[in-house]
Amino acid sequence: MFNISTSFIFFSAGFALILSMGQLIKPLNIKNYILSGFLFSLSMGMFYMGIIDSGLIQVHPHFLFSFFPFPFLLGPLGYMYVSLLSNENFTLQKNNYIHFLPFFASIFIGYQYWSMPLSTKIEVIQILLYSGVFTQHHFIILIPMLSVSIYLIYVIFDLNPLIKMKNKRVQFLLGLVILWVIAVSSSIYSIAMGNSKNFKIVGIACGLSVIYLYFISQREPDFLLTFGSEVNRKRYERSLLTKINIKEFEKRLNILINNQTCLDPELTLSKMAKLLNISSHQLSEYLNEHKNMNFHTFINQNRIAYAQNELLKNKDKTILSIAFDCGFNSLSSFNAAFQKETGLSPSLYRKNSIGPLLHIT
């Protein structure tokens, strides 16, 4: 039965779907792709909530768990999008894709339910909506909500410096966060109580968040573009580098690099910080803010720069020997790092003898 709340949920789901497609019309970049995926997943989730709230799930039981995988995308995509906005140094790495493993696993679980006989599906629906008892079926649909809540905590933690700022944009952001907290907590409570028919509150909260985000973007077109600068300004105020003479520090750093300190296989962040007479946190902040990289990447770049010179100058030297000389503990880790920095394997690089040397930074 369609009522005002059900109609609103379906309307919001369709609106989120339109906004999702709209992101693909804009200049294509990773942020727009991620936001599009997030809005699409949200729209699928709201369609499912609308189907449950309207009672259509009983008329069309084949929808049972058809939309189950999509909530597993909301957490990772939302977290990655906010991280890209709030941290100019954040980049997507290959290991970020591990966040999507639950999504693919959930497709298998959803298929198990989808392939059930019709009578079994109807029985499961009755248990989920009307039993009032927490069962294994409730536990399964609780998992994606718990996943979203965990990522929501990560988002709040990452935006903590921004939340502490008292300005209009932060108030808009807090409103959006509150709506999501209401949606997730209502969902978890409803499922934990063994009664999933109260998805109405979840659907309405999600729908309000979509409309809220749309009106914010219309009123403040640069709203989602200012997080990074706001957070960076806050970070600067709390910076551990304010008492350090950067020019003098960089001179000491260059001396260490020229002395091939980076080739030490036992070199760690704390050990290098001690050599530079600063704290580990200060060195880490310097590399992130001034070099746009972490300690591991910084060391590897300098090691690969040395390896490039060795490969071309000492062609009688084995690649394994060069790998150990550069501070790598295995040939596989050396090959992976070399491929990442140059786009070529060490053997191919030596064979072709092409490409500019990667200058030590």
What are the structural domain ranges in the chain?
4-233, 246-352
pLDDT in tens, 25-74: 876 678 888 889 999 999 998 888 888 878 888 888 877 777 788 889 99
**What is the reported pTM?**
0.61
| pLDDT attached to residue 321 | 93
**168 or 125, which is more confident:** 125
In this prediction, residue 194 carries a pLDDT of 63
Residue 1: CB partners within 8 Å, gap ≥ 6?
A: 54, 55
Segment 123-147 shows an average pLDDT of 81
Flag whether pLDDT at 150 surpasses 80. Answer: yes
Phi and psi at 58, nearest 5°, equal -80, -30
pLDDT at 198: 62
pLDDT at 179 over 70: yes
Q: Token pair for residue 175?
A: 């409103």
Identify the pLDDT of residue 134: 80
Instruction: Kindly report the CATH class assigned to 246-352.
Output: mainly alpha
Q: What is the mean pLDDT of residues 127-137?
A: 78
Does 359 have pLDDT greater than 90? no
Q: Rounded mean pLDDT of the chain?
A: 80
Counting Cβ atoms within 10 Å, is residue 279 exposed (0-12), middle (13-18) or buried (19+)?
middle
Q: Which residue has the higher pLDDT, 316 or 232?
A: 316
Residue 325 is predicted with a pLDDT of 92
CA–CA separation, 12 vs 46, rounded Å? 8
Q: Bigger pLDDT: 116 or 238? A: 116
The answer, yes or no, to whether residue 299 has pLDDT greater than 80, is yes
Q: What is the DSSP letter of 314?
A: -
What is the structure's pLDDT at 226?
A: 47
Q: Which residues have a Cβ under 8 Å from the Cβ of 240 and sit 6 or more positions away?
A: 279, 281, 282, 285
pLDDT at 235 over 60: no
List Cα–Cα distances, 173 to 21, 85, 88, 155, in angstroms: 23, 13, 18, 11
Question: For position 239, what pLDDT does the model report?
Answer: 57
Q: Give the residue, 314 or 218, on which the prediction is more confident.
A: 314
Residue range 4-233, CATH number: 1.20.1070
Indicate the pLDDT class of residue 314, thresholds 50, 70 and 90.
Answer: confident
From CA 345, how far away is CA 228, in angstroms rounded? Answer: 36
Unique residue bearing structure tokens 């109807």: 122
User: In 10 A of CB 254, how many CB atoms?
Assistant: 12
**Residue 240 pLDDT greater than 70, yes or no:** no
- CA-CA distance, 38 to 34, in Å (whole number)? 6
Number of H helices, E strands in the chain: 18, 0
